[in-house]
Amino acid sequence: MTESPTRILVTADRIQSRIRELGAAIDKDYPNGVLLVAILKGACFFLADLARAITRPVRIDFIGISSYGKSKTSSGEVKLTKDLDSAIDGLDVLVVEDIIDSGITLSYLVSVLEQRKPRSLRIVALLDKPDRRVRPVDVAYVGFQIPDEFVVGYGLDYAESYRNLADICVLEVPPGPVVR
Ligand code: IMP
Ligand code: MG
């Protein structure tokens, strides 16, 4: 790779200062603490920083959902690939997601988790592409609204690459078919 295929959209510094604000808002809304449920794999970086920005008691769990495969557009199909480790009935649950695009993933996940009777269920998403929504999703906390561009970095991938970029970047040069 001779040229970087990415352009910075949100710097690492802006990400961290916005996460501090989100943590303060969550502290205020959940004085008794909250269970953070991160969606694998993209939300892991956000989860790690958000959990440390919250000063109330926090527990974490993970859920796996597949929606995109190796393509840049949603297949429209969603399936659970890893379930939570523990029951959530009676708990205050905050789903931690990296980005909301069509809304298909989160509307599916919310319907699955609601059936388990949590005391409350809300969503925090680092990024939101509202122009792309096809299913309505009620998001309690949003880090940044971004335009309809494909982004990578800070946990977000294209075909499993770029997750380790510190900044959130627009993928400008489509890398083409993945060679494995
Ligand atoms: P949705 O179901 O269309 O809302 O898609 C949500 C999921 O698609 C996210 O959890 C991401 O894994 C992935 N996704 C959506 N947009 C992007 C993007 O711009 N970059 C990387 N992944 C994305
Ligand atoms: Mg995801």
Going along the chain from its start, the domains and CATH numbers come out as: 13-149 (3.40.50.2020)
Secondary element (H or E) of residue 21:
helix 12-29
Beta strand 168-171 with 6-10: parallel, antiparallel or unpaired?
antiparallel
- Give every CB contact of residue 159 below 8 A, 6+ residues apart in sequence: 70, 175, 178
Nearest CA to ligand 1 atom 5: 101
pTM of the model: 0.91
Active-site residue numbers? 101
Report pLDDT digits (tens) over 125-134: 999 999 999 9
What residues flank ion ligand 2 with Cβ within 5 A?
42
- Report the residue among 75, 156, 157, 169 best suited for mutation to probe ligand 1: largest number of ligand atoms under 8 A from its CB: 156
Between CA 99 and CA 43 the distance in angstroms is: 8
Q: Three-state SS for 50?
A: helix
Digit-coded pLDDT (tens) for 98-147: 999 999 999 999 999 999 999 999 999 999 999 999 999 999 999 999 99
Q: What percent of the chain has pLDDT over 90?
A: 84
